Amino acid sequence: MSQSRVPQLHANVTVQDFLERYEVGETVGVGGFAVVKKGRDKLTGDPVAIKVVDKSRYAAGDNSLEREIQVLIKVNHPNCIKLYDVYITPRKVYLVTELVTGGELLDRVTEKGNYTEKDAASLIRQILEGVAYLHANGIVHRDLKLENMIMMNERDDSPVKIADFGLSKFFSPETVLSTMCGSPQYVAPEVLGVGDGLKEYSPAVDMWSVGVILFILLSGYSPFDDDNDAVLFEKIKKGTYDADDPIWEGISKDAKDIVAKLLTVDSSARLSAEQALQHPWVQGKCFGDVDNGDVKQLAGTMDKMKNMAVKRDSMRKSFIGDAAAAKAMAPVLDDEEDVSSYL
């Protein structure tokens, strides 16, 4: 399917209307609110993914589904998941997207026969391209994490896709971003500061999360980690990340530099996506010839990431609400209801 295809919103339709266009296949994923299935576009014959959402599972006042649809309709970039169609029926919502078959980024890295800083730079550059596009188009993701980075296909040069826009939101000079949300190990300090002196935050929260992703891609472990969320959040607010592991002795000075400039507590001093894309390490200017062995293999990083993949389920949780409600997964408290009248 073409990246340029314009998503269509089909409101107040029946399941039969949906089935006239799409054939539904096997289940490939199950979540709290939705089931994801493989499918086929009967008109074009192209494979698709179909997210079947049960509207009754959402709490009153939770408009995260509406917001996700609003954002996905606007998103059109090679490094972001592509939406094709939305069918809104009385009980279900069907979101039809491109079918991605390459699995999660974390799994792909751990399955590689070799892995270098140059590989990590290539991956983070694609993520930055996607984030730069979102920010330029007035969209803040608010839940960037390794688990939401998926590979388009199984080829070695597969594009990275940013997925899961359930916490994303449009922003503008008139918009106040103040909902505490994200994933514990990836959330920016200013998000945690809302209600504790701070009244709002900026799209720079996404860049902190990119910094965490990059830290993990280089070292194989999380910069901020604690079984107790309260202790974890205090570490994040102070910005004291753990880079004492011997593995960092083999990481280049340029790589350490961009990590430090992303994991900066002062959001106004943090690199923007456009600035990060211009960093020498991201542009690959500091790498030698891979074929001649000039780029060091990150074998230790891969070993650590394999351990991380095993305990990954505990890192998947996202939260919305105040600190006390974080674990309770409180309903979304935002506004924006352009399509809510259809749901």
**Active site amino acids:** 143
Give me the helix-helix angle, 117-136 and 204-219, nearest 10°. Answer: 170
Residue 82 zone, left/alpha/beta (φ > 0; ψ -120 to 50; rest): beta
Distance CA 14, CA 234 (A): 49
Query: Would you call 301 helix, strand, or coil by DSSP?
Result: helix
**51 labeled part of a ligand binding site:** yes
Distance CA 206, CA 272 (A): 9
CA angle in degrees (0–180, nearest 5) for 238-242-246: 160
Query: Would you call 83 helix, strand, or coil by DSSP?
Result: strand
Distance CA 86, CA 201 (A): 31
What is the β-pairing status of strands 149-151 and 160-162?
antiparallel
Q: By the 8 A CB rule, do 86 and 8 touch?
A: yes
Q: By the 8 A CB rule, do 89 and 18 touch?
A: yes
The two three-digit tokens of residue 50, written as one number: 């179909």
What is the DSSP secondary-structure string of 260-327? HHHS-SSTTTSPPHHHHHTSHHHHTTT---TTTT-SPB-HHHHHHHHHHHHTGGGG---EESSGGGTT
Q: By the 8 A CB rule, do 48 and 98 touch?
A: yes
The label of the residue with tokens 């890192």 reads 315
Query: Would you call 238 helix, strand, or coil by DSSP?
Result: helix
Query: Which residues are part of a known binding site?
Result: 51
Q: Which residues are annotated as a binding site for ATP?
A: 51
